[in-house]
Structure 1
Amino acid sequence: MTDSGLNPVLAAKYQQLQAFFAPLDRVLIAYSGGIDSTLVAKIAVDVLGDLALAVTAVSPSLLPEDLEDARHQAAALGIAHEEVSTQELDNPNYSSNPVNRCYFCKSELHDTLKPLALDRGYPYVVDGVNGDDLQDYRPGIQAAQERGARSPLAEVGLSKLEVRQLSQYLGLPWWDKPAQPCLSSRFPYGEAITPEKLQRVGRGERYLRTLGWRNLRVRSVGDTARIELPPDQIQSFVAAIDLPNLVAAFQDYGFLFVTLDLEGFQSGKLNRVLGLSPTVNSSPVE
């Protein structure tokens, strides 16, 4: 470790991130409130002050509590924060849930952010894509690049683990926040996505979190809710949960059946149909 508290490789990447923002006049950050875009916002505001603006896209695929987190974190960072509505669900190329659904999501996002940035005098739009994302199936990255967005974390090769390490070093209390991709990622490809389906998934995940389960997914497969938890938590979950009450709650949300995935939580599990291996993800700190 260096005197700064960072290992030399991470310290160098941190300096590169600061240098990325230094020559920019004004920058708009596509800011979801996740750990990646929040780190980008932190470094941007540290370097540019009030010349940095964080903008959150609000749609049915964003949990209300995630929006509240984004607001709270932006306020804590001291960065200007705005919200815009996006209408990706109005696009059948998105709502039909093809394998490249994320391309149409990010197209809608950046087609909304780019004119906003130019109108406000922000010549640059950046996002929170990290180096590990480039190794995964992320068709949305192409859509962002086509619209001129840049990804400073990926450009300096910052991994997901390094994002968390740097966030912890910078004193961000949410450094170990579980990843929370949009709710549309809970549906198998080809299953149509509707606001009602998104709402019932969101309500199911919110219910489980109120019971103390932090790192999880509720996958929606037809009328079945499939709960995923880290493998080492499955036995304690079954022992601790009032299963009849859980089933009743999920049925009240609109599901007919409730199951527990015995393999456990793995990010990207639904990508198996594409011949891609999911990422084992049994810890809140990814």
Structure 2
Amino acid sequence: MNKILEDKLNNLKKELKKMGKVAIAYSGGVDSNFLLKVAKDTLGENVVAITINAMMHSSREIKESNNYAKEYGVKQIVYKVDNFNLEEFIDNGPLRCYYCKKFVFTKIKEIASEHNIKYILDGTNLSDLDDYRPGLKALEELNIISPLKDVKLTKDEIRILSKELSINTYNKSAFACLATRIPRDHKITEEKLRMIEEAEDFLQDLGFNQYRVRLHEDLARIEVDKDQINKFYNDEIIEKINLKFKEIGFKYTTLDLNGYKMGSMN
């Protein structure tokens, strides 16, 4: 481990020790999983993972978070939101992420308070500041702490440290809430989100690593990493995807030749 990364990791542990007892907003993704493991190694039993399970979340991601929390021996509280009918979220305007984060982290704060935990942490890192993230304002308003950002860890550095610490998510694909697949100002519905989830699960089962299925009315626009676009040269793969997507409910399926790009709906 190089000196710069070692210093950042030590600074992260120092910040965690100062807080003593923390709740982590936990999705099981690269960032929150790294934070959870380091917090567990640093604070032992004084760590709780809080996971919100609402319609914009993937069932596969929730299950993975369950498995990692059990592996680390961390208490995980999963709060199920059966009817996420927040109007500002459903309407999918430019501040959708802000209103969603405000709702979700307000609930996480309530759960943390019930367990006498003062400090709520999330996995925002330095690289997140380069993207359009209106939800970050909600975190600031609610006094959510982002220690990875505070010690200036980037996404790539978190992956490197995760590998050094034998955390399995070091090479996990980037993932975002399913609502990011729907164009702005197009209504978000449970049906649309489940279609997207099923389509993306199918791509993962076919061996694609980084992917998105963007929904445009009755058309599915597939984004994959450019180095995996050549998989579509296979007639069998094309036929499988075409048939499955029609079964899911898409009338048309198209491949974006620009490849996967984070935040391409922004």
Deviation at 1:235, TM superposition (A): 2.3
What's the secondary structure of 2:144's corresponding residue?
A: coil
Shift of 1:88: 7.8
1:65 and 2:29 aligned: no
If the length of structure 2 is used for normalisation, what is the TM-score?
0.96
Q: 2:186 corresponds to which residue?
A: 191
CA distance in 1, matches of 2:241, 2:142: 44
Q: Indicate if the aligned counterparts of 2:208 and 2:228 stay in contact, CA closer than 8 A.
A: no
Q: Look up the equivalent residue of 1:29 and give its one-letter code.
A: I
TM-score normalised according to structure 1 size:
0.90
1:63 Cα deviation from its structure 2 partner: 1.0
DSSP 3-state at the match of 1:267: coil
2:148 maps to 1:126: no
Q: Is the 8 A contact 1:88 1:108 kept in 2?
A: no
For residues 83-106 of structure 1, give each alpha carbon's deviation from its aligned partner in whole angstroms, at most 9, with x where no partner exists.
Answer: 012478311101111112110111
After TM superposition, the structure 1 = structure 2 runs for residues 201-212 of structure 1, keeping only pairs within 5 Å, are 201-212=196-207
**1:160 matches 2:155:** yes
Residue 248 of structure 1 deviates from its aligned partner by 2.0
Shift of 1:25: 3.0
What corresponds to 1:173 in structure 2?
168
Paired residues, what number? Answer: 266
Aligned to 1:54: 49
Deviations 1:238-276 (A, max 9, x none): 3254423322211111111111111111111112xxxxx
Give the root-mean-square deviation of aligned CA atoms.
1.3
Given that residues 103 and 139 in structure 1 are in contact (C-alpha distance below 8 angstroms), is that contact kept between their aligned partners in structure 2? yes
Q: How does 1:65-84 map to 2 (within 5 A)?
A: 65-84=60-79
Greater mean deviation of Cα atoms: 77-86 or 221-230: 77-86
SS at match of 1:266: coil
User: Is residue 39 from structure 1 mapped to residue 34 from structure 2 by the alignment?
Assistant: yes
Report the identity percentage. Answer: 34
Indicate how the Cα distance of structure 1 residues 167 and 264 shifts in structure 2: closer, same or farther if over 3 A, else same: same
Q: Give deviations 1:204-241, integer Å, cap 9, x for gaps.
A: 01111111112111111111100111122212323254
Give 1:1-286 correspondences, 5 Å limit.
Answer: 6-86=1-81, 89-239=84-234, 241-271=236-266
In 1, the alpha carbon distance for the partners of 2:125 and 2:212 equals 22
Please identify runs of 4+ aligned residues in structure 1 that moved more than 4 A. Answer: none
AA matched with 1:185: T
SS in 1 for 2:23: strand
Amino acid at match of 2:85: D
Q: Which residue identity lines up with residue 33 of structure 2 in the other structure?
A: T
Paired letter, 2:210: N
Amino acid at match of 1:100: L
What SS is found at the alignment partner of 1:28?
Answer: strand
More divergent stretch after superposition (112-121 vs 122-131)? 112-121
What are the Cα deviations for residues 36-81 of structure 1, in whole angstroms up to 9, with x where unaligned?
A: 0111111111111111000111011111111111011111222111
Q: Match for residue 276 of structure 1?
A: none
